[in-house]
């Protein structure tokens, strides 16, 4: 799962090191904010 999210971030995010679209919530999962 982590590798899939990493690949998505590389494609979608302006700066994958500082994600804005796909955020990781430790202990819960991933957060996709509303647009």
pLDDT at 10: 94
Q: Which domain holds residue 13?
A: 2-31
Tokens describing residue 28: 């819960």
pLDDT at 1: 73
Element containing residue 11 per DSSP (H, E): helix 2-12
pLDDT at 15: 93
Q: How far is residue 22's CA from residue 26's CA, in Å, rounded to a whole number? A: 13
The total number of structural domains in the chain stands at: 1
pLDDT, tens only, 1-35 = 789 999 999 999 999 999 889 999 999 999 988 86
């Amino acid at each position: 799962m982590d590798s899939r999210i990493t690949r998505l971030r590389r494609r979608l995010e302006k700066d994958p090191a500082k994600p804005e679209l796909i955020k990781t919530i430790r202990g819960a999962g991933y957060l996709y904010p509303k647009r």
